[in-house]
Amino acid sequence: MGTYFHSVTLDEEKCRGCTNCIKRCPTEAIRVRKSKARIINERCIDCGECIRVCPYHAKKAITDSFDMVNTFKYKVVIPAPSLYGQFKSVFSRNHILTALKMLGFDEVYEVAQAAEIVSKATKKFINKEGQKFPLISSACPAVVRLIQVRFPNLIDNILKFESPMEVAAKIARDKVMKKENLTKDEIGVFFITPCAAKMTSVKAPYERESSSVSGVISIKDVYLGVLNNLMRQKSCEDLIGAGYEGIRWANSGGESLALGTDSFLAVDGIHEVITILEEVENDRLEDVMFIEALACKGGCLGGPLTIENSYVAKTRLKKHIDEAKEKAIASSDHDDENDNIDWTGKVQYKPVLKLDDDIEKAIKKMEILQNIENELPGLDCGACGAPSCRALAEDIVRGNANETDCLFKLRDRVRELAIQMMELEAIMPPVMDKGSGGKGEK
Ligand code: SF4
Ligand code: SF4
């Protein structure tokens, strides 16, 4: 289902081959060869970790250009709730939404509003008899892809509901079609994203045939335009529709808090997520009903395509949450027709880490890998361009690297060659003097 795509790419000119990124990648998708990083595409889950750690800004996320907005007759913008945390607290949510709309959109629909629909459906679902616990939230596409690549046994634990972004896009499009009497293709629905993984889930969805989102624009790309509009704004429209429970989704723990149970675990940061998923795999968390796992530290507020420091953004978002509480903007009323948010597709195991499709060959290769690894120094220094000695051994087995890519092995090899040369020199016949006519010295 869907074509292959991933959003995070390398700007080769900026890369200095420093190897900072290779150890942070949760799927060992990066190698440095010939002083340049390379991403093994099928392994990348778009977690954005390498964008964060690259000191030279050589990693970037591909998102849609704003020009795409103007190719549609009617334009709708659906901002992620993390957008609200990017601007100073003096600006209300209505100010921010109006400033966003002023960039050239006809309509705004908050993704936070759709988040409340997902919360409502999840609440119902976890209370049904016979569930397999813990259920793992599907809100973060990077985590779903991580499960596909590294934790196939946990695919059944994923909560198979559409993300708030998809639900928002569908509702917004349907409403405009009815209200404006337009066809589906005349309406462009644009998601304002804090992360790269959302772009991938739109371009190459795993949970349905195609996405209801027409384009994905990063928060970074709209930030200045929104800020300019905020500065010159005289008044604002009443555009808010979401309650505090929906806005809270931008924070780690926000999705869980809306479920009305204490039996949840909220984890953020891709490496911490891996630790928790390992626990689930080892049946140590069966007493937990719901796991909210987000790839970015601090949740979506910590996304690599945001502007503001996530701690600052969290404080700012709190003000919007408190305001929504004060004004008693509770969970919005939702039409029954929006209650069906089940995935229509299936998440499948992506065996990109497998050594061979043939099980016998795979076992043989694993033995060879083990032997090569045993011969490597085990320092995981990264100087070879692979994240660990085991990863280099795997690359060698796959035919993508040589043993002498390891500096220690290269040094040993050079030493061996030097000894061999000395031995050869010792048994070499003496060099004849040109003028001696082959008679040797007197
Ligand atoms: S985005 Fe994440 S998975 Fe992809 S290469 Fe970077 S660190 Fe690895
Ligand atoms: S962190 Fe990775 S992408 Fe950035 S310069 Fe270093 S090797 Fe290149």
DSSP string, 132-168: -SSEE----HHHHHHHHHH-GGGGGGB--B--HHHHH
What whole-number distance in Å separates Cα of residue 365 and Cα of residue 375? Answer: 15
**Which of 338, 367, 402 is at the close of a domain?**
338
Instruction: Identify the CATH number of the domain in which residue 28 sits.
Output: 3.30.70.20
**Average pLDDT for the chain:** 92
Please indicate whether residue 51, judged by its CB atom, sits closer than 6 Å to ligand 2. no
Nearest CA to ligand 2 atom 8: 15
Nearest atom, ligand 2, residue 20 CA? 1
pLDDT at residue number 3: 55
Domain extent for 417: 359-427
Whether residues 239 and 189 share a domain: the answer is yes
Question: Does 104 map to a domain?
Answer: yes
Task: Determine the pLDDT at residue 436.
Answer: 54
Residue 1 lies inside a defined structural domain of this protein? no
Instruction: Indicate whether 314 and 406 sit together in one domain.
Output: no
- Range of weakest confidence among 124-128, 180-184, 204-208, 279-283: 204-208
In a domain, residue 183? The reply is: yes
The answer to whether residues 188 and 327 belong to one domain is yes
195 lies in the same domain as 324: yes
pLDDT at residue 328, rounded to an integer:
58
Residues 76 and 49 in one domain: no
- Both 331 and 377 in one domain: the answer is no
Could you say which of 306, 338, 370 is where a domain stops? 338
- Of all ligands present, the nearest one to the C-alpha of 59 is 2
Distance separating alpha carbons of residues 187 and 330, to the nearest angstrom: 29
pTM of the predicted structure, to 2 decimals: 0.90
| Judgement on whether residues 109 and 234 belong to the same structural domain of the protein | yes
Q: Whose CA is closest to 185, among 160, 221, 210, 159?
A: 210
Q: Alpha-carbon distance 145 to 6, whole Å?
A: 11
pLDDT, tens digit (0-9, with 9 covering 90-100), for 309-338? 999 999 999 999 999 987 755 444 455 445
Tell me if 56 CB under 6 Å of ligand 2: yes
Give the end of a domain, one of 61, 76, 98.
61
Instruction: Name 90's Cβ contacts closer than 8 Å, sequence gap at least 6.
Output: none
Element (H or E) spanning 74, and its range? strand 74-79
User: Is residue 435, in this structure, part of any structural domain at all?
Assistant: no
Do residues 226 and 100 lie in contact, with contact meaning Cβ atoms separated by under 8 Å? yes
| Residue-wise DSSP of 3-38 | -----EEE-TTT-----TTTTT-TT--EEEETTEEE
The dihedral sign for the CA sequence 374, 380, 385, 386 = positive
19: how many CB neighbours lie within 10 A of its CB? 19
Residue among 10, 25, 144 to mutate when testing ligand 1 (max atoms within 8 A of CB)? 25
Q: Structure tokens of 98?
A: 């109006």
Is the Cβ–Cβ distance between 57 and 33 less than 8 Å?
A: no
Distance CA 239, CA 272 (A): 37
**94 and 225 fall within a common domain:** yes
- Same-domain pairing of 419 and 402: yes
Rg, C-alpha atoms of the chain:
27
Q: Is the shortest distance between the CB of 49 and ligand 1 below 6 Å?
A: yes
Closest Cα partner for 131 from 293, 286, 345, 294?
A: 286
Q: How far is CA 425 from CA 428, 430, 434, 441, in A?
A: 5, 10, 20, 21
- Return the pLDDT at 1: 44
> What's the number of CA atoms in the CB half-sphere (13 Å) around residue 16?
6
133 and 273 belong to one structural domain = yes
Q: Model confidence over 9-41: pLDDT tens digits?
A: 999 999 999 999 999 999 999 999 999 999 999
Q: Are residues 206 and 227 in the same domain?
A: yes
DSSP string, 120-140: HHHHHHHTSTT--SSEE----
| Gap between the Cα atoms of 11 and 214, Å rounded | 26
Q: Which two tokens stand for residue 68?
A: 């795409």
Determine whether the shortest distance from the Cβ of 61 to ligand 1 is under 6 A: no
- The CA 429 to ligand 1 mean position distance, Å, reads 58
> How many domains does the chain contain in total?
3
Place of tokens 């624009």: 217
Q: Per the domain annotation, does 438 fall within a domain?
A: no
Instruction: Answer yes or no: is 440 within a domain.
Output: no
Ligand 1 touching residue 39 (CB < 6 A): yes
Average pLDDT over residues 171-181: 96
- Which ligand 1 atom minimizes the distance to the CA of 48? 1
CATH number of the domain enclosing 378: 1.10.15.40
Name the residue at shortest CA distance from atom 1 of ligand 2: 54
More confident residue, 333 or 369: 369
4 token code pair: 């292959």
Q: Give pLDDT tens digits for 217-264.
A: 999 999 999 999 999 998 999 999 999 999 999 999 999 999 988 999
Whether 256 and 307 map to the same domain: the answer is: yes
Is residue 354 situated within a structural domain? Answer: no
In a domain, 19, yes or no: yes
